[in-house]
Structures are given as C-alpha cells and as structure tokens.
C-alpha cells in the first residue's frame, strides 16, 4: 500500500499503525478478524502525536496527505471492517465475480484494490499449505497495461508485485491467471517470463510488432501476418514439444448488449465505523 501510494519512507509507520489497529479492533483475537479501514488509519494519524509511529514527523505528514487522497478517491469501496472473502463467499459455491474498476482513479488507488484481492487469494492458500494438481479458481483481468508496466513494477521499490507473485506461485495452489493487454512493448519483463500461453491478435504498431515477434519466436518477416489478422484470429504459442507459433481462430461470441443493471446483488459485510464511534477501541489505542 505504501509503495502504490508513493510513501517510500512511511512504510514502517503505516505497518505499525495497522498493527495497533488490528490489535485494538480485536481485543480477544477472535475469528474472523475485523480489519482497520483507511478511514481508521487516517483517524489514528490525526489524533496521535507525529512522532508516535515515525522517527520523523514529516513521514507521518506525507502519510496523512496520502490517506486523505485514498479515502476521498475510493468512496465506500474500502469502508468495511470485513468485506469480500473470496475463499468463503465465492470458491466453495463455484460463483463468478465481476469487478468493474473503469471509473476508479487515480491509478495507484485502483492498483491497491487489485493488489488486495490478489494477495488475499494467494496468501490465504499459502498460509493453509494448499497444493492442487488442478485449477479451481481462474482470475481474468483485462486492460492490464498500467498494472503490468515497467513504471508500475518500479513503483514497489524492488518488492515483487502481487500480480507477479500470483503468476509465479498461483498454479501450485490452484489459481490460474489470464491477462489482457493492448501491447507488450511497455510490459515489465518479469511478467513475460511467467506467461505460459501467448495469444496475439491484430498488432499494427512497430514497437508492439517487434516485441510480439520476439515473444512468439517468429522467423524473419514472420510478423507480417500480425497486422493482417481478422476478428477472432490470433497467433498462438504455448509450452510443450512444439516450439513454433501457430495460427488459431476463436469461435465468435457476440459481445453482450445488456444494459448496466440498475441494482446489484448485495454482498454481506461488516460496516466500518470511525474510531470516534468506537470509544472502547479508542481507549485501547490511548
């Protein structure tokens, strides 16, 4: 979270605040745990002395500024002490979940929400030592150019991004990942190395063509086919004994023309409260 928010020097401060709030919200260490919201973190940062969590007050000032940005930009998205639990609410019931984030901005706030979903799914299975021979949960994410870019990779200051962790370790615990991007020329190398199956649809620009040809291991001038692909056609390359790329065609599935629902199904969650609405929590903090 600190990396996505550009808080390189406030990471420890943020971690210490989260530690305290988790302890204060769960006096008996009950299960399931209640989790602090960004609003709770902001409340704590405002009422605590600036040197309570950080060696330098400026670090906490930066944190307060960023937390105000997250709270304002995300609306009610994170305002729950306990919300979506993928393993509990979706996987056992074999349900699908569609998350629409096209209006969530800025990019770093959207990245935080995506990171939390990926890490919840992966780390829970790692914690339980799950090992599966088959995939029972498939994550499909489209328009991931910003999330896979070199700039996004650099943002985390050397730490492996959650999506990269999911791609590297997910298959062993039963998670499949399918990603869609418009072009590969800005995608960080770590993601290309972890992809087993590549499907390239019509590619026209010079830089994406060059990267596509290298990724597919096409012969000289072999990339000439990419701009000429018609709808549904792609050049495919996968693992196995056949190292070359092949021309493939998908069955056409017409896009849905159903309008946006006026009302969505409600999902159970524990509504959040501010610290000032929880005097017993505030007393524990003090």
Structure tokens at 49: 């002395």
57/264: higher pLDDT: 264
**∠ CA(208), CA(163), CA(16), 5° rounding?**
135
Strand ranges (DSSP E) for the chain? 80-82, 137-141, 175-179, 198-200, 233-237, 246-249, 270-271
Q: Is residue 11 scored above 80 in pLDDT? A: yes
Confirm if 54 and 13 have CB atoms less than 8 A apart.
yes
Q: Are strands 246-249 and 233-237 parallel, antiparallel or unpaired?
A: antiparallel
Task: Report the SS3 class of residue 166.
Answer: helix
104-115 confidence digits (pLDDT tens):
888 888 889 999
- CA separation, residue 63 to residues 11, 24, 39, 48, 161 (Å): 9, 20, 12, 13, 21
Is the confidence at residue 125, as pLDDT, over 80?
A: yes
pTM reported for the whole predicted model: 0.84
Average pLDDT over residues 2-15: 83
Residue of 255, 191, 241, 202 whose CA lies nearest to 224: 202
Q: For residue 137, name the pLDDT band (cuts at 50, 70, 90).
A: very high
Residue 253: pLDDT above 80?
Answer: yes
Q: Which range has highest mean pLDDT (17-21, 131-135, 147-151, 260-264)?
A: 17-21
């Amino acid at each position: 979270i600190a990396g996505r928010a550009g808080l390189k020097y406030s990471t420890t401060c943020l971690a210490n605040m989260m530690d305290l709030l988790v302890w204060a919200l769960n006096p008996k260490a009950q299960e399931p745990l209640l989790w602090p919201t960004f609003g709770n973190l902001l409340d704590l940062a405002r009422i605590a002395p600036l040197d309570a969590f950080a060696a330098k007050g400026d670090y906490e000032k930066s944190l307060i500024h960023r937390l105000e940005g997250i709270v304002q930009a995300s609306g009610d998205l994170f305002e729950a002490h306990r919300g979506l639990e993928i393993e509990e609410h979706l996987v056992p019931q074999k349900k699908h979940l569609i998350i629409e984030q096209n209006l969530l901005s800025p990019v770093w706030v959207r990245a935080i929400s995506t990171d939390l979903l990926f890490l919840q799914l992966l780390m829970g299975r790692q914690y339980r030592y799950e090992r599966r021979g088959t995939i029972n949960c498939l994550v499909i994410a489209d328009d991931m150019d910003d999330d896979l870019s070199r700039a996004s990779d650099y943002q985390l200051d050397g730490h492996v991004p959650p999506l990269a962790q999911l791609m590297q370790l997910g298959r062993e615990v039963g998670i499949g990942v399918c990603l869609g991007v418009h072009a590969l020329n800005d995608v960080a190398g770590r993601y290309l190395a972890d992809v087993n199956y590549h499907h390239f649809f019509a590619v026209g620009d010079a830089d994406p063509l060059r990267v596509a040809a290298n990724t597919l291991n096409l012969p000289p001038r072999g990339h000439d086919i990419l701009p000429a692909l018609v709808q549904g056609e792609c050049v495919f390359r996968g693992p196995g004994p056949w190292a070359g790329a092949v021309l493939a065609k998908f069955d056409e599935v017409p896009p849905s023309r159903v309008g946006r629902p006026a009302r969505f199904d409600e999902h159970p969650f524990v509504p959040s409260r501010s610290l000032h609405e929880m005097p017993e929590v505030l007393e524990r903090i003090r």
